[in-house]
Chain A
């Protein structure tokens, strides 16, 4: 069984860059793709990154994803922060034993 661990919260000022980490507890982060979902209050999640670093159409290029095998973690980076980016962000991955696993979520505050 594996877990995905995210920081509970992060905060940054408008115009700055923030990075949210997602660390896999066991097994290689590179063994299965990582997705990132944004959830604004009262709304369903939407995808901002899939397959580690791909952006769905309509997601601005201020959003980027990466994985780092040395730390066994994935990262979501948001540059040029806007107040509209304030939301909860969840990482998600998969393996054949645990099936689909979500991280605990990170609350991003843009202040």
Chain B
């Protein structure tokens, strides 16, 4: 079964930075586009960022554009999200999510990692 395990969450002050990572296993990581999707406490899902298999195509939600950077290392089967200039409204559980282009869906989700932005 596909495994996606996030790490690196925690408490950070407004204006600070944090990097969350995702370790992927049990599938050919380099063959799949990946995403980050977040969920603020008690709120709905929000797509954050997308990266294609070779990192040639990268997209961001307007809410994080210019502050967040997505990257991947296919040799290490890992996905990362560097978050800078963090705001209180970035507080959320961040999910690492695999994208299936064939079926047009987010087909596997990690368990999520909590990022809290607070002074």
Footprint of B on A, CB under 8 Å? 32-33, 35, 37, 39, 44-47, 50-51, 54, 56, 90, 92, 94, 99-105
Contacts and interface: CB of A to CB of B under 8 A. Distances in A.
A90 B61 CA distance: 18
Nearest 4 CB-CB pairs, A to B? Answer: A44-B109, A100-B47, A105-B44, A50-B105
Interface string B44-61: 111100100000000101
A99 B112 contact: no
B44 A50 contact: no
Name B's interface SS: strand
Contacts of B110: 44
B106 A92 contact: yes
Contacts of B107: 47, 56
Interface string B67-111: 000000000000000000000000000010000000111110111
Interface of B: 35, 37, 44-47, 50, 59, 61, 95, 103-107, 109-112
Given A33-B104, A35-B106, A44-B109, A102 B44 contact: yes
Given A99-B47, A100-B47, A105-B45, A35 B105 contact: yes
A45 B45 contact: yes
15 contacts: A33-B105, A37-B45, A37-B106, A44-B95, A44-B109, A45-B95, A50-B105, A51-B104, A90-B44, A99-B50, A100-B50, A102-B44, A102-B46, A105-B44, A105-B45
Contact of B61 (A56, A99, A103): A99
